[in-house]
Each structure stands twice: as structure tokens, then as C-alpha cells.
Amino acid sequence: MAPKFTGKVPPVPLMITRTPEGLRLVEAAIRDEVLYTEEAELQDLLIAQGFHLIEGIYYIPLRQKLLQHRITALRELDEIDKIIVLVLAIITTHLLKFKIIRQLLSTSSTEKALKLISWFLSRQKHKKLSQTTSFLNNHL
């Protein structure tokens, strides 16, 4: 079955309720015909929210440990993408406080390097998403 939001079809929002109250609100909107819904498959969730899932699983816990200055976070730097997350966290939380560093980072060569780093991190997220999707498809 083709996902609901690929090709030339306009984007379809995916709603995930996280609390019983949120679920009651959505159910009331459906009952009042304010909201139309259809059941989503796992594949739909991965397409719509895949990068957010990967971010939440792999990178957010590491960023939180780094921001809390936990030395144990250094043990997790076993992959290049996590090292990139560390470097970006240092840049955004510490180095950008200084005007000279901001000026240095605003040069065209530095901007190109940061774009390349961002592209690489995006590719790593895509790779992890593909691996996660394959794993889930094989085990569900």
C-alpha cells in the first residue's frame, strides 16, 4: 500500500495524541465532524515523523547529557554523527556567545562547512531511519 502522503498529493497532517485528554479532544472533534481521520499504518508514521523519531531516539538524549555537562556523554561518542551533534551543541550553546566567534562563523567558507556538516548529519539520520524501518518491518 502506498503511503498517504507521497507523490503529488497535498501533505496530510499526522496527529498523535500523547495524553488521555488529548485523545478525548480528538474523539470529540471526530464525533462532531470537525475532524476527519483515517487509521495510519506504521509506514505512515515513519514517513511523516521518521526524522523526529530518530532525533528523539539517538540525538536528544545525548544533547541533554551534554547540556547537563555529564561526562558520561563522552562514552556515547562512538559514531561520527554523534560527534557532529557534540560539535554543533558546543557551537550553539557556548561559542555563539562571543561576537568574534559569531563573525568567524558568518564567513562564506564557514557557512559552506556548516551546510556540509548539516547535510552529512541529515544523511546519517536518513540511514538510521532506513535501518529502523527495515528492523521494524522484519520484526512486526
73 and 132, same domain (yes or no): yes
Per-residue pLDDT, 9: 55
81 and 15, same domain (yes or no): no
- The number of angstroms, rounded, from the C-alpha of 17 to the middle of its chain's C-alpha atoms is 18
35 and 55, same domain (yes or no): no
80 and 90, same domain (yes or no): yes
35 and 58, same domain (yes or no): no
Dihedral of the CA atoms 56, 58, 59, 61 (nearest 10)? 70
Q: What is the pLDDT of residues 66-103, one digit of tens each?
A: 778 777 777 777 777 788 887 777 777 767 777 877 77
Per-residue pLDDT, 31: 93
How many domains in the chain? 2
Per-residue pLDDT, 115: 81
Per-residue pLDDT, 89: 78
Q: What is the pLDDT of residues 12-70, one digit of tens each?
A: 667 778 899 999 999 999 999 888 877 777 777 777 777 777 777 777 888 888 778 77
Q: Domain limits at 60?
A: 42-139
Residue 21 to residues 13, 34, 77, Cα–Cα distance (Å): 20, 17, 39
33 and 68, same domain (yes or no): no
36 and 96, same domain (yes or no): no
4 and 31, same domain (yes or no): yes
31 and 67, same domain (yes or no): no
